[in-house]
Each structure stands twice: as C-alpha cells, then as structure tokens.
Amino acid sequence: MWLDTLALMPVLLLVVAGLLIIVLDSLDNDSPVLPWVALLGLLGALVLELNRLGGGGRFLFEGLLRVGGFSAYVNAVLLLGGIATVIFCRAYLPRIWHAHGEVYALVLFALVGMMVMAASYDLVLTFLGLETMSVALYVLTGLAREDVRANEAAMKYFLLGAFATGFVLYGLAFLYGTTGTTRLDLLPTRIPNTPLFWVGVGLLLVGFLFKIAAVPFHMWAPDAYQGAPTPIAGFMATASKAAAMSALLLLLGHGLGLVRPQWADVLAVVAALSMIVGNGAALMQGEVKRLLAYSGIAHVGYALVGIASASASGYAGALFYLLAYASAALGAFGVAALWEQRPDRQLPAEDLSGLGRRHPLLGALWVLFLLSLVGFPPLAGFMAKYAVFAAAVQAGKIWLVLIGVITSMISAYYYLRLCVLIWRPVEAHPLPSSGQLASGVLLLTSALLLWLGLWPSGVLELVGRFFEDSGLVLR
Amino acid sequence: MQVVLFGICALLAIVGAVGVITARNPVYSALFLVLNFFSLAGLYLSLEAQFLAVTQVIVYAGAIVVLFLFVIMLLNLRPEDLPRFRLDRTGPLVVLLSLGLLLGVGMGIWSLLGASFPQDPQAQAVGTVESLGRALFGRYLVGFEVVAVLLLVAMIGSVMLAKRRFQ
Amino acid sequence: MMPQWTPYLVGLPLLGFLLSGLLGLLWPRYRRWEIGIGVLAVSVVALAFLLALGLFVGLPQEELPLRVVLYQWIASGDFAAPIAFRLDTLSLWMTLIVTGVGALIHLYSIGYMRGDAGYWRYFAYLNLFIAAMLLLVLADNLLLLFLGWEGVGLCSYLLIGHWYADREKAFAARKAFVVNRIGDFAFLIGLLWLFREVGSLDLGVVLDRAGAIESTALGAIGMLLFLGATGKSAQIPLYVWLPDAMAGPTPVSALIHAATMVTAGVYLLARLSPLYVLSPGVLGLIALIGALTALLAATMALVQTDIKKVLAYSTISQLGLMFLGAGVGAFSAAIFHVFTHAFSKALLFLGAGSVIHALEGEQDIRRMGGLSRHMPLTYCTFLLGALALAGLPPLAGFFSKDMMLTAALGSGHEVLWFLGLVSSLLTTLYMGRLLVLVFHGAPRAPAVSRAHEAPAVMRLPLVGLAVGAVAAGWIGWPDLLGHGAWNWIGRWLSDSTADLEHGLSLGLEALSIALSVTVAVGGLWMAFRLWGRAGLEADHMLQRRLGGLYALWQSGYRVEAIYERLFVRPLLQGSAAPLRWSERYIAGGLIGLASRSAFFIGSGIRRLQTGLLSLYALVMLIGALGLLAWFLWRSL
Amino acid sequence: MVPAGGYLLVSALLFSLGVMGVLLRRSAIVMFMCVEMMLNAVNLSLVAFSRLLGDPTGQVLVFFVMCVAAAEVSVGLALVIALFRNRESIDVDQIRLLRG
C-alpha cells in the first residue's frame, strides 16, 4: 500500500503544492511567490513522470490505476500544458486584475484530475478525475467574474458540461449493470452482447466526446474559449483534451479493444464531422481565440482518425498527435495571451497586425506554431498527421483520409491569413506585459515542434511500444 | 410491502420530476425537487440501500435543495420576471427527442425487464454501511481522496466566483 | 569527390537561410548590412554549385545511382522513411541546373534588390528555396520529395508576397498557394495510395515494384501524381496562378517561376518514368494536356502588354511542351528542355528585370520602345535569349525542342506534333513582338530616354546566362547528325529515365527538323515585319481583324473570370446564375465544388452557432441519439 | 416482488424528464435542477444494478456522485450569482454575446 502511494508521487506533489498555495495565499494575499510554488510542483512531477517514461506500466491499488508507460507519456504532455499555462497566467492575469493565488491552485487541482484520468483503469475513478478537472475548469473559465462574457462562457460550459456528465454517468451505469464491473482490466473478458451494454457505451461516449469537443458535442468550445482568460483557454484546448482523449483511448482501445468493429466506424464518422465542421467554421472566423477553438475541434478530428483506425499504429499516432497539437496550440494561445490588450479581452484578427514588425521573434514563433497546425513539413504537425493518416490507410479507411487531407488543405487558407496579417506595416502597440519567461516557454515549444518534426522516431517508437498489435493497451 | 413502497415512491418521484419542469415559480420547482429526492430515498430503502437512503436525504434534500432555495431567495427571483417555459418552435421537437431517448434506453432495458433481485442474505447486505465502507476505504480509497480534492476545488471556486469584493 | 558530401548540397543553402534569418530577426542592425547578407547568400549557393560540379566530375557514370543515407527520419512499425539522397544522372543534372542558375540569379538579386526594406528576408527565403528545391531533386524517398515539394511552394508563396503591403500582391501570393495546394492534395493522395500498393515510398523500391501494381491502381496513382505536377508546373487546369505570381520581384520570377520550381512537375514525371511508361493511357493524357497548354498559353502570350506576363505565359507554354515531350515518352528530352529553357527564360526574365529597373518600375511594353540604344548589353543578351527560346539553330532551344517534337512524331502522335509545331510558331511570333516593342522603334515614353544600363553585378549574370542560352544545346545533337553519337545528354539521362523507343526514319526526322527551322525563321521574319514596321499599330490591326477572338485571348479565355466565379464569389452569386456548360467544363467542377462547399459549410456552421445555450444542448441530444441509434442498430 | 426492470424504467423515465427539462426551461437555475434530476435518475439505476449484482461498487459510485453533485451545485450556483450580478437576469436565452 505504501509503495503504491509512493508511486503516485507526481499527483501527490501537485496536491501538496496546491494546498501550500492556498495556505500561503491566506497568509499573504495574491503573493508573487505562488506561481513559483506551482511551477516547482509541476517541474518536480514532470521530472518524476519523465523518469518512468521508458519503462512499462505498473498496476497500483489492485488494478485501480496504472502508472508509467502510457500514463507517464500523457501526464508529461499534461504537465507541459500545466507549466505553460502557469507561466502565461503569471504574465496575463495581472493585466485583467485577476492575479489571484487560487488560480494556480485550481490549475494544479485540474491537473490532478487529468492525471488521474490518464492513469485510471477503473471507470469510477475516471469519472472522478473527469469531474475534478471539469469543476476546476468551470471556475477558471468564469474567472473574470465582473465581465459578462466570462459569466456567459462559464455558464454555458458548466450547464452543458453537467448535462454531459448526466449522459456519461448513465452510460457508466449501464456498463456496470451489464458487465458487473467498472474495471477496464476485467472488461475485455466480460463484454456481453446485449443491447443495453451498447446503449451504455454510446452514452459514455457522449461525455468523452463532449470533453474533447468533437462534433456534434463541440458547440460550447468556441464560446467558452472566447470568454475564458486566454491562457486558460489554451489549457482547456490542450491539457483537458489530452486527458479526455487518453481516457477515451483506454476505454476503447483497452476495455473495448476486442470489439473494435462495433465502435470504429462511428468514431470515424465523428472524426470526419469534426474535421469538416472545425475547419469550415474556422474559415469564416475573425476572432483569434474562436478561430483557435474551431481549429482545436478540427484537430481533435485528426487525432480521432488515429483512434478510429483501431490499430496499434493508429493509437500511437493519436498519442503522438496529442503532443504535436498541444505544443503548437499552447504556443499559439501563448502568443495570443501575450499580445491581447483590449479591456474586453477580445482579440480580433486585425489586432494582430504589426505584431511581427514590433516583435519579430514573437512573430516568427507565431508563424511556426500556425505552420505546424497546418501540418507543414518538417514540423511536428506534419509528422503527426502523417502518422494518423498512414494508420487509417492501413485500416482501409481511405475515405476518412481523403476528408482529412482535403480539410487540412482548406485549413491552410485561414492559418496563412493569420501568418501574413502580423507582418503588415502597421504601427503596433508594445507587448502589454513583459514576458521573458513566457517567451522562453514559446521558444521551448517551438523547439519541440522542430524536434518532433525532424527526429520523430524516438517519440514514435516510444508511443508505439505502449500498444500491442492486438490493439490492446498492454505494455 | 416492497411493491407498495415502490409504487408510491415511483409515482411521487415522477410527479416531482414533472412538477420541477412545469412549475412557473422556481421556489415551487425546488420544492418539487425535494419531493423527487425524498421519493428516491424511499426507492433506495426498498432496494435495501439504507446508507444511501439516509445520505440521499441529508445531502440532496438537506444540503443541495437548501442551497438552491437559498440562491433563489438571495437573487429574489420572482415568478413574473422569470423566463417562461419554451413550448414555441423547438418544444415539440424536444419532447419528441426525449421520448426517443426513453425509447432507445427502454429498448436496451427490455432484456433485463423481468430480472428479479437475488434474495440471499449476502446480496441483501450490499447496502449496509459495513459493506460500503469496505469498498470505499478499500479499493476506492484513491477515489475518496480525489473526491476530497474535488470538494476543495468546489469550495475555493465558489468563494472566488461569488465573493462580494470587486476591484 | 566523395558522395558523402551530398547532404551538404542541401545543408549549405539551409545554413545560409538560418544565418540570414536568425541574424536578421534578432539583430536589427544586420538588416541594413546589405553586402554581408548578399555575399553570404550568394556564396552558399555558389559553394553548393561547386560541390555539385565536383560530384558530377568526380563520380563516374557507371557508379550511379548512389544512395546516401543521412539518418533515419521516421522508423515506426513497418514504415521507415530515412532522410536519404539519391545521386543519379537525373538528380545530379537537375542539381547542376538549380545551383548554377540559382547562383547567377542570387548574384543578380544583389543589385536588383538594393535598398529594399526586406533585403535580409528576401535572401533568407531565396536560400531556403534553393535548399528545398535541392531536397526535392535529390530525395530518395517520395515523402522527402514531398517535403521539398511543399517547401518550394512555401518559398514561392513567401517570395511572391515579398511586397505584401500591397494587397494585390499579397492576394496573388495566396492564390498561388491555394491553387498549388489543390495539386499538392492530389499528390499526397497519390503518395498514400502508392504506399498502400507498394508498402514503401523509397524510390528504389517503388520503381522496382511498379510492374507489380495492378493496372487501374497504377493509372489512378499516375493521374493523381500528374495532377500534382500540373499544379506545380502550371498546366491546364491549374495554370492560373503563374501569371499572377509575377507580382513577386523579377529575379524570383526568373528563378522560381521560370527556371526551377515550375519544372518540378516535369522532374517528377521523369523521376517516376518507369512507373508512367506502364500506363500508356495516362501518358497520352499528359501529352494531350501538355500540347493544349502549350498552344493556349502561346496564344495568350501574344496579346499581353505586361512584359513579365508575356514571359509568364511563355513559360506556361514551354512547360506544356515539356509535358508533351514527357507524354510521348521522351523524358530525357523533356529534361533537356528544362535545362535549355532554364538558361533562356532566366535570361529573358533578368533582362526584363533590368528594363524594369531602368524604367523605374514600368512593366507595360506599350510605354517602352527603342531601348536598344540605351541598354546595348541588355539588348544583346535579351536578343540571344529570345532567339534561343524561339528555337533558332544553333541556339540552345532548338535542340531540345526539336528532340521532343521528333519524339512526338516518331511515337505516332501526329496531331500533337502539329500542335507543338503551331505553338513553336506562336512562340517565335510573341518573342519577336516582345523584342521589337521593347527594344526597337521609337521610344513611346519619356522615361526611356533616361534609361541606363544596370550595374555590373546585374550585368554579369546576364552574360553568364547568355553563354548558356547559346551553347547549352550543343550537348544533344539530333540523331540525324552523328547517329546519336553526339547526343551526349540523351545517353547521360537515359540511365535514370525510362524513355520509350521510337523509330523515326531519318527522312521524316529531317523533314521535322526542316519544318522547325522554317517555322522559327519564318515566324521571326513575320514578327519583325509585322511589329517592326507598324509597332503597336500591329496590335490594333490584329485586334480589328480578329475581333472577338482577340478579346478572348486577351482575357485569357475568360478562365480567370470563370474561376473567379467558381472560387471567389460562390456565396455572393449562389446558384442563381447558372453557369454555362462550357464554362463549367473548362473550369473542372471538382475544384470549384470543393472550395464552394467549404465556404458554404463554414457559413452554415456560423449560422448554427447562435450563442443559444438550449440549441447547443439540443444538438448534443441529437448527437447522443445518433450514437445510441448506431449502437442499437449494430447490436440488435 | 418488483423486478429490476421496474426500477430501471422509472429511472429512464426520470432521466428523460430531466433531459426534457434542461431543453425546455430558460431559467439557468431550473435547468440546473433538471441536471440534478438526471444524476438522481442515474443513481437509482446504479443502486438497482448494485442490488441486482450483489456488488457494492455501484453504491460506492452513487456516493461519489452525491459528492460530485454537491461540488457542482456549489460552483454552479456561484456562477448563477455572478451572472445575476452583472445581468440582473438568469434567462439563458438572453446571454448570447458569444456566438458565430
């Protein structure tokens, strides 16, 4: 028991750091030390997770959780998102007069929920992780409580999220009722062929697809991102999607891996819809955060192409895609957060004019992030798309790949518009806040994009090792 | 005995639910909600889940609905300036879709319709405090801790969102 | 010279890009230090050229092809894509063209771009372009080739939009990019399909196993890759971007849109020629498209008034001839034409650049004339380039064009041969017209009298290219002379390309050559007679005589307008204005449909996203019911 | 003795009523009550399954759901209060600044 608890050290570290922040905050309100405490916890957890990245997974607490391997990889992605979010928040929040210490604690607690999701082999625990993450995100979305937009965004996210929770729970109930277990490690041997079981699977999917903002459960995302503080929007777009996606992968790939034909097609349809709707809507979008939200919906579609391939290489591709997308999207949201300066926290595309002239480095990084989102070689986005598409081709889902390629070609149109816009010779305002540390994070993520694009073998091999060819998450 | 309890409680629960969605005044909605929750507690009792029945009354009826009522009073929501019921264009569609949901789930349940509950003492003892406690603090100890974090988050969050002090 | 040096061919220009880019971005003072930037950019390309030359001289032909692996790019599961380069006669030859012409144009740019605000950016992109183009040419893996393919497209986009402050130019850049993406999309699908059939994208494996692919799949793959080539090489139906691409600086037009990038399509066909010769139907279509493009573009070039647009349409036409050559199985002849055309067309563009430079930005040939007196060197070199392009023996263009035309005749495509001949005639006409209207006659604008020769750094490349335009053809004499013994280039390239044999009797070949020569001489004579005497009046006379046809030519067969209607205004017009079947036919419904439906979907979604919470919940419920119905249906 | 199907059907009916309420009502607070009703309906199913299987996991989950519901209620009502302070209304049809 004790050893098992020790193995949960990264999560515990975050909890402790969060509690410490709350205590410190009550002693010295909104102290500038708090983000550093959060960063310390996050870095510690990241080191621990990276340390056990290579090894296989290990079950804890009688098969309740599994750490190392798959979960270590996902957790590393999540922690990366957390670190970037904390640093961007540190630069951004004082500008909107909301540099509350509690924010950092909430980010950490949200991460606790996410990391539990990525490690959980019991749907009960997955549900609890999901809720912990969600509740923290509802609050963070509505952070700027004196602003009607923030209220609206949080309200929509919250009500729809709670609505989705209802579905997820109902599905879980049916799964439990028909198989007699909520354990993912026992599920493969107990799959009955009753309609009720499949009703349960369908309802369960609603909740997960809602959290990753896949069509048709995506409509909250643009509104919520637009109203949320920009770094938090980046957090939602990357970390929460990664967590929910990994939980989905565990459920479908591991729990339901033996009955792949039953769910693969429907997931392919969802993926296709997401790619079409996400890119189509982004095409006509003028607000940068909304545009990134729609682009995020489209990217979920691409990642789902990997899962819909229902093969080891597809799952590996999806995992690789999560990292590639998270790095690029964190960067894009980070630049948006640093540059945004309107009091109503909006960022119309025209506001980007002149960014490149005023801050060439920031401009160049922005272009790099967007190009990776387009899927331009040799950046990570290209490699990620290639990985999922190749898996889908092998799975015989050529039509899905066709849609994927067409939509990503279309997506070039709106990304490039944003790339060109920033170099317009317009007199632009200086950066509203100094963001040396934030620029460092941006440089780091861009280096990651290049690295993943040029030397992807290491990571591809790593994620490939998590899965066996039977399609079950085993190692 | 069980049949009677089930019949009454199920009926009351449904009446409560219909009441919640039809009442004009949110206070009435909240009171119908209490009715719904109480009758569910009764249903739990009929399923020999005594611990949950008690918790249901304490948590839902005692805490949650009171919180609802408290907020309704705080905001001083009066029935007349409340948004009305939406039975305009989408109304029929919504009813239809909800019935579709019921139908879909019902089709799933069909196969389990006649399943009767096991009557051995072991199965009957599932709902006791002891049995639940073993599961909760055994296998699901980690879950219990996660819930602790969740409640902490909710506490911090609601204070942040609702406290008076504005800059 | 060791083949291990190959990666440096790509690495040197890449290094130049990184240095210029980073220094310029991070150190504002560097941006003004033009000599440093220019010398750096030119020297990396020149070094690459020397390296290529060393490889060319140092590697005996028998040792080729060689495979140089740099490192394993992707190795996951059953799919591996190494970063590997393929050194064979074809890639080595293309490398020489790219680096040689590239170095000269870099040199020219030093003078041409002087004082430009984006000097450092320009050279950084130009270096990046060379790197990407070399990657495209040298790649041993089709995925890597695609990387280069995308890279050159990106650089082209960046350089066309170099003066992005000008909205029209930025738009031209975007247009080029979007049209290219359509081709790239087909290319990528083709690659994925090929991967599915063969299980690898390594060139060696693909070419070896091409015979094992089932013929319909092979045909479809060939068609998709060809569609990609039409995008990059500006062929029907995707040629519309090239004339607009002239918005970029003139050296860019010379390098990217005449000498190198646009020939990537031809290179692709030659590279995959063992695959293409297995599907004669696709080859026939390629030849047909090529011939039609050559003819149409030549007619359009005849009536343009912008000096660069004339050259742009001329490039499209010449590329069409190359596709014709490739389509009739004369791949090495097509590459030969890439080689000679690179010299003559780059020379013409740089000459045009000098003219534009001297006239302070004037591009309209109606306001030129009589420049030969003020710019003698430019005139002489431009004349050589024009004559070479027109196919006057013994200048370079004659040999390569003739090689393709005789191949067309020999392989039994008499009609296409005739079309090629007609477009050759048109070529002589429009080149003659351009030459006369720009350099001869009386000045038609005051600026002409102030014109002066360009600085030495710009004159030197002109001379260098002129030498090439004259002599480049002498490595490939027709079979008629020396019975193929003097056709060195054919023997060199045929190691890498799968040329189709064609038996053409010496008599017919002689006839073909004689006709070509007659056409060239006669056409030039006609042009000089027509425009030399009447000047601009000749245009007006043609306009009167030909009436509607002329107008149709001038508007580029209204294809632009049709595309505009299908591309740009689909929403404004909707389906209210039914398109005439002919227009729809020309435009190729697929392209329009794709973009139209994209915008349609986009606006539809926006309308659905009303901000109404209940609607969002409703959509969720519908989605949930959809999932439920699906699973119930599957399980019942 | 009432069979398990009876409980499950009641639960399905309550769930559907909750869904209907969420979609029909315009007041944020009543919508939220309907969500709570949905969760309760699920709880009923869970207890019934737990009893049917003779396994406590379902009831543990119900206990967790109660905690989750409590957490959601506190955050949700805080959001309602924040919204009401700014808008003097909790009609969800009125809040549509964010769209498109």
Q: For the domain that residue D44 is a member of, what is the CATH number?
A: 1.10.287.3510
Residue B85: the pLDDT is: 57
- Give mean pLDDT in consecutive 10-residue pieces for chain C, a chain of 636 residues: 82 91 81 84 93 89 81 68 86 93 92 84 92 93 88 87 76 76 83 83 86 87 92 85 86 89 93 90 92 90 88 93 92 92 93 89 84 89 92 88 88 89 92 89 82 86 92 83 76 83 79 89 88 78 76 71 57 35 38 62 78 89 94 86
The chain-wide mean pLDDT, for chain A, equals: 91
Q: Which of B112, B150, B158 sits opposite A196 (nearest CB)?
A: B112
D76/A149 touch (CB, cutoff 8 Å), yes or no: no
- Cβ count within 10 A of residue D1: 10
Q: Which residues of chain B have pLDDT under 70?
A: 78-89, 164-167
- In angstroms, the separation between the Cα of residue D45 and the nearest Cα of chain B is 10
D36-46 pLDDT, tens digit per residue, is: 999 999 999 99
A460/C75 touch (CB, cutoff 8 Å), yes or no: yes
Classify residue A380: in a domain, yes or no. Answer: yes
Q: Are A234 and A199 in contact (CB under 8 A)?
A: no
Chains that touch B (3 or more CB pairs under 8 A): A, C, D
Fold classification of B2-123 is Four Helix Bundle (Hemerythrin (Met), subunit A) (1.20.120)
Residue A150: the pLDDT is: 93
Classify residue D97: in a domain, yes or no. Answer: no
Residue of C nearest to B109 (CA): C632
Classify residue A90: in a domain, yes or no. Answer: yes
- In angstroms, the separation between the Cα of residue C55 and the nearest Cα of chain A is 27
Higher per-residue pLDDT: A327 or C299: A327
D5/B113 touch (CB, cutoff 8 Å), yes or no: yes
Chains that touch A (3 or more CB pairs under 8 A): B, C, D
Q: Residue A277: left (phi > 0), alpha (psi -120 to 50), or beta?
A: alpha
Residue A421: the pLDDT is: 83
Residue of A nearest to B148 (CA): A132
Classify residue A473: in a domain, yes or no. Answer: no
Q: Which of B6, B98, B154 sits opposite D2 (nearest CB)?
A: B6
Residue C589: the pLDDT is: 43
Contacts of D96 in chain C (CB under 8 A): 610-612
Interfacial B residues in 124-153 facing D (CB < 8 Å): 126-127, 131-132, 134-136, 140, 143, 147, 150-151, 153
A101-134 pLDDT, tens digit per residue, is: 899 999 999 999 999 999 999 999 999 999 999 9
| Residue D38 contacts A where some CB pair is shorter than 8 Å | yes
Residue B42: the pLDDT is: 94
- In angstroms, the separation between the Cα of residue B92 and the nearest Cα of chain D is 10
B109/A196 touch (CB, cutoff 8 Å), yes or no: yes
Contacts of B86 in chain D (CB under 8 A): 23-26
Classify residue A36: in a domain, yes or no. Answer: yes
A387/C165 touch (CB, cutoff 8 Å), yes or no: no
| Chain D contact probe: residue of C606, C613, C616 with most D CBs at under 10 A | C613
Classify residue A275: in a domain, yes or no. Answer: yes
Residue extents of the structural domains in chain B: 2-123, 128-167
| CA separation, residue C566 to residues C258, C561, C569, C590 (Å) | 28, 9, 6, 10
Question: Burial of C343 by CB count in 10 Å (0-12 exposed, 13-18 middle, 19+ buried)?
Answer: buried
| Cα of A209 vs its chain's centroid, Å | 12
Residue A179, pLDDT above cutoff 50:
yes
Residue A87: the pLDDT is: 95
Interfacial D residues in 10-49 facing B (CB < 8 Å): 10, 12-21, 23-27, 29-30, 32-34, 36-37, 40, 43-44, 47-48
Residue of B nearest to C627 (CA): B104
Higher per-residue pLDDT: A161 or C170: A161
Residue of A nearest to C74 (CA): A457
Classify residue A475: in a domain, yes or no. Answer: no
Classify residue A132: in a domain, yes or no. Answer: yes
Question: Using 50, 70 and 90 to split pLDDT, how confident is the model at A309?
Answer: very high
Question: Using 50, 70 and 90 to split pLDDT, how confident is the model at A230?
Answer: very high
Q: Count of domains in chain D? A: 1
**Mean pLDDT over residues A151-176, rounded?**
95
Q: Which of A106, A129, A138 sits opposite B146 (nearest CB)?
A: A129
A390/C79 touch (CB, cutoff 8 Å), yes or no: yes
The two three-digit tokens of residue D43, written as one number? 């709880």
Question: Domain containing D47: what range?
Answer: 4-87
D47-86 pLDDT, tens digit per residue, is: 999 999 999 999 999 999 999 999 999 999 999 999 988 8
Residue C79: the pLDDT is: 64
Residue B154: the pLDDT is: 95
Question: Domain containing A133: what range?
Answer: 2-468
Task: Report d(CA D98, CA B141) in Å as an integer.
Answer: 41
Q: Which of B97, B105, B108 sits opposite C621 (nearest CB)?
A: B97
| Residue B21 contacts C where some CB pair is shorter than 8 Å | no
Question: Using 50, 70 and 90 to split pLDDT, how confident is the model at A155?
Answer: very high
Q: Which of B108, B146, B156 sits opposite A132 (nearest CB)?
A: B146
| Residue B71 contacts A where some CB pair is shorter than 8 Å | no
Classify residue D99: in a domain, yes or no. Answer: no
Residue that has been written with the tokens 């032909």 in this structure: C61
Alpha carbon dihedral A55, A56, A62, A63, in 10-degree steps, equals 130
